[in-house]
Amino acid sequence: MKIAVIGTGKTGGAVLQLLGDNGVAYDSKKKPTAEDLKKLDAAIVFVPGEAAGALISPLLTAGIPAVWGTTGYVWPDDLDEKVKKAGTHWVIGTNFSLGMNLVRQAIEILGRGAELLEQPKFSIHEVHHIHKKDAPSGTALSWKEWLGRDAEITSERIGDVKGIHELLLETPFESISVRHRAHDRKLFAEGALWTAEKLLDSPELEPGLYKFEAFFDQIFKP
């Protein structure tokens, strides 16, 4: 198995470490072409939002599965149609931590159960390293989406923090919090690699565009 790793920053670099000789690196100095990508089995993409648009065409032309960890980018409305036409599978995620999906289930329960509580008020706070350009983080936006409730999001950029997210639910009578902290970027690399491997091992999967959480639920059924 040979996988293209497009974007060799902190998370992409962690993916390359896990892949060893099975990873083929591409970055702004060595950009992948469709012909390059056709020779590989899949792609894992961790590039800034402004670099994503230029990669869509060569990846579609190559027709290989792709795992995207890009945030801060508005995906084209017709992307799912194009991926289906290419006969391949793409998974887009804001956070590829497998453990984060357990957190997601808890957040979804809190969102649904809030109607049982008196005057529930939600807030989300996220902290990342000073080099992260988008704020709020894609993960914080996903938490609000999973919650299905109005929630104020606040952000901090400090040092080399890998990622801290906390949801706080307050009522006049109690407070409930859910907190996730990443200790090593290999956490995200591990999840992205797991996703790529499952795409290659799931021939029955319908071609198209998947959100990571929906893909996770389809593959992992406790």
DSSP state of 177: E
Active-site residue, selected from the candidate residues 132, 144, 180, 198: 132
Examine the residue annotation and report whether 132 is marked as an active-site residue of this protein. Answer: yes
Examine the residue annotation and report whether 38 is marked as an active-site residue of this protein. Answer: no
218, β-bridge pairs: none
Q: Is 153 buried (19+), middle (13-18) or exposed (0-12) by CB count in 10 A?
A: middle
Active-site residue, selected from the candidate residues 29, 31, 82, 128: 128
Question: Interhelix angle for 212-219 vs 100-113, to 10°?
Answer: 100
List the one residue out of 3, 2, 124, 128 whose CA is nearest residue 72: 128
Collapse the DSSP code of 108 into the 3-class scheme (helix H, G, I; strand E, B; otherwise coil) and give the result: helix
Query: Catalytic amino acids?
Result: 128, 132
